[in-house]
């Protein structure tokens, strides 16, 4: 079920600030699971599970990276900048889609690609006016749906962080006897930096915040050694990243929970990149920060790869934490 949800989630249009389709789908899945989800005025989806015990926020973001149309030239080519970090060279040849379904292929302006501004979009149109009938400057595109299962591994655009959303949905379904009060927060605008999660937490007064997000796996050929996790080696427990030193108490709590539930986990130390933790640490009266991460190869490309078993371990770990007396 989780991978079916991931397939659907990864295909939904939802660049930062435009998460409506994703929120609608998540709410529908929650309703099918008999769980009441609510949406706040910024579009964050919130689900509270359990009563008493520790007050824990589990958050993953619904938005994805994308391209912003900056100009349509006379020949009908679209010039772009990026919304969030994108691997420009790896985007070459990918198909992107706009909110209204308009598609275009990513091409390069010259022989090399060093930045997103070296790319352009070909709409298959012969002139500017034809394109302007469909899209305009400022409109945003995401990589078009391309989900595939390769054995136990799923590859698609937008795994970051639709994989986190799928894990959270699965965790909610698995929780049967919660011993803690857990606020699941599917947040908006993480990538643009404005962090809807801060608003979503609202009056919850959480003690602990756990981000659920993808993290770069370092086991691909030539992958930069900026992290420690490997695909298929279990759920990542974030120790630190460039924005946050996770709270030792939370790290220990997650490690002990994983051990008690016999779950496969790995330590996640990331030197480039960060979770929502940096913002969450300052929300309300402040929270202790942790992270449950999903190893992901080829992150920020149209073909991000995650492992089904890692995702299962992440969902099981979060559910076990909710059911553990802490």
Partner 1 sequence: MLDLLKKLTDFNAPAGWEDPIREYLAARGGELGDKVEVDRLGNVHVFVKGDVSPREPVVITASMDEDGVMIKDVTDEGLVKFGMMSKTDVRTILGKSVLIGDNAIRGVVGRKPFHLTTAEERKTVPGAGELYLDIGSSNHGGTHVRVQKGDCGVFYGPLRSIGPHQVHGKALPRSVLIWAMLELMEQKLPVDTWFVFTTAGTARHRGAYGAAAVRKPGVAICLDVCPGLDSGEDHPLVAHGPVVAAKDKTVVFHNGLRKACLESKSKLQRWSEIPADGQGEMFRKQGAKVLGIYCPVKYLTAPCQMADLRDVRYLPELMLDLLGRLEEVV
**DSSP-assigned beta bridge partners for residue 17:** none
Tell me the closest approach of the beta carbon of residue 93 to partner 1, in angstroms: 23
Tell me the closest approach of the beta carbon of residue 236 to partner 1, in angstroms: 27
Q: Of these, 35, 68, 107, 220, which contacts partner 1 (CB under 8 A)? A: 68
Give all strands (DSSP E) within the chain, no chain letters.
38-39, 45-49, 55-61, 66-72, 77-83, 95-98, 103-108, 119-122, 140-143, 148-150, 153-156, 181-187, 208-216, 235-240, 265-269, 288-296, 304-307
Binding mask 132-161 for partner 1 (x = CB under 8 A): ----xxxxx---------------------
Q: Of these, 107, 194, 218, 281, which contacts partner 1 (CB under 8 A)? A: 194
Q: Which is nearer to partner 1, 8 or 21 (CB)?
A: 21
Question: Whole-angstrom Cα distance, residue 16 to residue 75?
Answer: 29
Residue 193 binds partner 1, judged by CB under 8 A: yes
Number of residues this chain uses to bind partner 1 (CB under 8 A) = 27
* Strand (E) or helix (H) holding 23: helix 20-32
Report DSSP state, residue 118: G
Residue 192 binds partner 1, judged by CB under 8 A: yes
Q: Which is nearer to partner 1, 28 or 70 (CB)?
A: 70
Residue 85 binds partner 1, judged by CB under 8 A: no
Q: Which is nearer to partner 1, 31 or 137 (CB)?
A: 137
Q: What angle do CA 135, 136, 140 make, to 5 degrees?
A: 75
Query: Omega into 19 within 30° of 0, i.e. cis?
Result: no
For partner 1, the binding residues (CB under 8 A) are 15-18, 20, 40-42, 68-71, 81, 83, 99, 136-140, 189, 192-195, 198-199
């Amino acid at each position: 079920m989780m991978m079916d949800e991931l397939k659907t989630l990864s295909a939904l249009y939802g660049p930062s600030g435009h998460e409506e389709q994703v929120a609608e789908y998540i709410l529908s899945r929650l309703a099918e699971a008999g769980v009441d989800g609510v949406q706040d005025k910024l579009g964050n989806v919130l689900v509270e599970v359990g009563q008493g015990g520790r007050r824990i926020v589990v958050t993953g973001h619904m938005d994805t990276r994308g391209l912003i149309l900056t100009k349509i030239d006379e020949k009908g080519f679209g010039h772009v900048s990026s919304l969030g970090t994108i691997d420009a060279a790896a985007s070459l040849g990918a198909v992107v889609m706009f909110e209204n379904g308009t598609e275009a292929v990513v091409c390069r302006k010259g022989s090399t690609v060093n930045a997103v501004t070296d790319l352009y979009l070909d709409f298959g149109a012969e002139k500017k006016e034809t394109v302007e009938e469909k899209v305009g400057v400022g409109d945003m595109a995401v990589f078009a749906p391309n989900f595939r299962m390769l054995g136990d591994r799923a590859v698609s655009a937008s795994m970051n962080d639709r994989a986190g959303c799928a894990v959270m949905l699965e965790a909610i379904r698995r929780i049967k006897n919660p011993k803690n009060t857990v606020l699941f927060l599917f947040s908006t605008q993480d990538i643009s930096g404005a962090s809807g999660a801060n608003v979503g937490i609202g009056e919850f007064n959480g003690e602990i915040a756990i981000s659920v997000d993808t993290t770069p796996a370092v086991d691909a050929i030539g992958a930069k050694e900026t992290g420690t996790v490997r695909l298929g080696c279990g759920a990542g427990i974030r120790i630190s990243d460039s924005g946050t030193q996770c709270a030792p108490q939370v790290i220990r709590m997650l490690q002990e929970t994983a051990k008690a539930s016999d779950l496969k986990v790995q330590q996640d130390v990331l030197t480039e990149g960060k979770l929502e933790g940096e913002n969450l640490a300052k929300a309300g009266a402040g929270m202790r920060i942790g992270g449950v991460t999903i190893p992901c190869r080829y992150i920020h490309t149209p073909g991000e790869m995650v492992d089904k078993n890692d995702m299962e371990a992440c969902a099981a770990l979060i559910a076990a934490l909710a059911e553990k007396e802490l």
